[in-house]
Every structure is written in C-alpha cells, then in structure tokens.
Amino acid sequence: MKVVVALTGASGLVYGLRLLQVLWELGHSVIAVYTSASVEVAKHECLGTDFVGVVGRFADEVYSDSDLWAPISSSSNMPDAGVVIPCSLHTLSEVARGGNSGLVARVANNLLRLRRPLVLVVRETPLSLPDLRNMVAASEAGAIILPASPAFYIRPSSVEEMIDFIVGKVLDVLGIEHGLYRRWGAINRRGPDPCARIS
C-alpha cells in the first residue's frame, strides 16, 4: 500500500514519526509531508532529534507543505490512503472547508475527491463548537476522525505503548495487520493498574 503521512503543527509529533517507522518496517511505500509549524513544534517535543532527518529515514519521498509542485499535489498521482498525524485544528479547518492553501490540504482534498481513505488524527483538548463542526464537516466529506485518545484497558506500562495504541488504531482503519496493541478481551496483567492511585 502507498500511504501519504502528513505531520502538522499540533502537539504529538511522535505519533506521526512512529507511524512512519511502522509503515516503513512493514514494507509499505510511504510519502511524507511536513509543515513549517511541525518543524517549530518539533523543537519543543523532539529535543535532540533531527526531525526532518527522521522523517526522511522512513519515507520514499519527503515534501514540505509549501511544495505545491510535488507530484502528489495532483489527483493524478494520489496514493492509496492518507493520514494527517497529528492533525492541527488549522489543518482540520482546511479539510472541512475544502481549502488548498498548502500541500497537506491539497492532498487531503484530492484523497476525498477520489473517495480514498483519509484519517485525521486530531490531538487537541478541549474542543470548541467550531472545532466540532469542522470535524462533522470533514467526516461528511469522507474523512475518518481518529482522536489521539489512548485506551487504558491495554494496561500500558509505558508512553510508548500508549503511542502504539493510537498508531495501531490508524493501521486498523487502513486495513493493515499489526501487533502494536492487545485487543479487547486479551488477558493482560503485566501493566500497572491505572486506578490504583485513586482507590
């Protein structure tokens, strides 16, 4: 499968980097797009990491959001699916209203026009009424809204396991098999009890 992964200026860039890594390791073709805002956020979240360099290690092609001459800016060169992870509220708004201000929005709208899967991993809280309306509009256009909301029934023992849960959910939507998290009903007593501090 050929997947475009877009990283925007919301908190949670590690979700996008991990998705790139997993797709690459599973042998899928990956096209990455990053925004200038994501580079700025990376300075705070990915300390000591060459953010753009890491993106390039796990992608066949890498483009900046400002590169409107990239092949994927045209619907004639669309991949099989796309994921915006993390998806900023600005990008959500662009997708909801059919905007084309940058490469991420153009790719998103091309995917929707072709009825191909587009997953928006929104990572923001709380949400305003306009945010919620934008989610509805994007969903009505065909996008899949996947909030970055980790589950605790998996009894995570690390932040990495919580990240893998979200990445695994994205792969579930794309129909890609993986073993990143334990499914509901699987016996798991190795992680900490998240309720122990309260009881």
| Residue-wise pLDDT tens digits, 37-59 | 999 999 999 888 899 999 999 99
Mean pLDDT value across residues 59-81: 96
| Tokens matching residue 127 | 């949400």
101-127 as b/e, with b when 16 or more CB fall inside 10 Å? ebbbbbbbbbbbeeebbbbbbbbbeee
CB 133 within 8 A of CB 97: no
Instruction: Provide the sign of the torsion angle of the four alpha carbons 38, 123, 113, 30, taken in this order.
Output: positive
Domain range annotation of the chain:
2-174
Query: Hey, what amino acid is at 105?
Result: A
In degrees and rounded to multiples of 5, residue 32 shows phi and psi of -110, 140
| Residue-wise pLDDT tens digits, 186-197 | 655 667 777 777
State what percent of residues in the chain have pLDDT above 90: 85
Predicted local confidence at residue 190, as pLDDT:
65
Residues in the chain: 199
pLDDT for residue 30 is more than 80: yes
Predicted local confidence at residue 193, as pLDDT:
78
Pairwise CA distance, residues 55 & 21, whole Å: 9
Pairwise CA distance, residues 100 & 108, whole Å: 9
Pairwise CA distance, residues 182 & 89, whole Å: 30
Mean pLDDT value across residues 7-24: 97
Q: Which residue has the tokens 């990240």?
A: 163
Query: Hey, what amino acid is at 192?
Result: P
Predicted local confidence at residue 98, as pLDDT:
94
- DSSP at 183: P
Q: Considering only CA atoms, which of 168, 177, 170, 169 is closest in space to residue 119?
A: 170
Label residue 164 exposed, middle or buried (CB < 10 Å: 0-12, 13-18, 19+).
buried
Predicted local confidence at residue 199, as pLDDT:
63
| Residue-wise pLDDT tens digits, 84-132 | 999 999 999 999 999 989 999 999 999 999 999 999 999 999 999 999 9
Matching CATH number, 2-174, of 3.40.50.620, 3.30.470.20, 3.40.50.1950, 3.30.930.10: 3.40.50.1950
